[in-house]
Amino acid sequence: MSSEAGRIDTTRGGERPRDRASGDAIVRYTAGERTTHWIVALAFILAALSGLAMFHRAVFWFSVFFGGGPWTRVLHPFIGLFMLIAFVLLAILVQSDNRMTATDWQWLRQWRDVVDNREERLPEVGRYNGGQKLLFFVQVLLLALLLISGIVIWRPYFASNFSIPVIRLAALVHAICAFVLIIAIIIHVYAGIWVRGSVRAMTRGLVSPGWAWKHHRAWFREVRSGTRSRPGTD
């Protein structure tokens, strides 16, 4: 960051770094994090489409993307398992930044300020805010339930080991968790588009100092102070 860009402007009642040079961009996500994220995203889309094709006849036509109904039934669990493995790898990369703190709970309690874009009222947050962390743990829970229920109903490998009532319950749990996960991902995508610069961060890995200061001020301070040497490290 240049000396000019690193200066602090206090003319509006608070510290604000002046983003004057494009060369001052901050690395938000490493190449490994971005690659893993998009692998998970692609696997999720395929798992969702194949699952929906089997869920209701109105969207059975999704099965054409997988070679027809029989192949959709065969491929769906393997796609889901691949998505889970990729997500675990991503979770390992970002888990240290997703620990909930008192600041995160306060951020969540001020959800009205979040919705109304009154960020000056919100507490300073780290690399991820309370909403992002909550979504992370929701995904962990849902994927765990999808794995367990999916194994129970996975024919011909495991289903024969369980009773009909257990299989029916597992099918219900699987459907509910899949529905909630789809809604959660839709919210995740919407939030990424709503906060300008977030998509660029996940495609190019970079954000401006101004973006970091506005949306993740505590993280910005860590990066600039040198207490965080690279994304994802404490």
**Distance of alpha carbon 206 from its chain centroid, rounded?**
17
Q: Residue 119 and residue 139: Cα distance in Å, rounded?
A: 26
Residue 56: active-site member: no
Catalytic residue among 56, 188, 215, 216: 188
What residues contact residue 185 under an 8 Å CB cut-off, 6+ apart? 44
Q: Residue 50 and residue 71: Cα distance in Å, rounded?
A: 10
Contact 106, 123 (CB under 8 A): yes
Name the residue among 11, 17, 4, 54 with its Cα closest to residue 223. 17
The shares of helix, strand and coil residues in the chain, as percent rounded to the nearest 5, are 70, 5, 25
What residues contact residue 87 under an 8 Å CB cut-off, 6+ apart? 40, 139, 143
Query: In terms of residues, how long is the chain?
Result: 234
- At 205 the three-state DSSP class reads coil
Find tokens 């692609």 and name the residue.
42
Tell me which amino acid residue 102 is. Answer: A
* Catalytic sites, residue numbers: 188
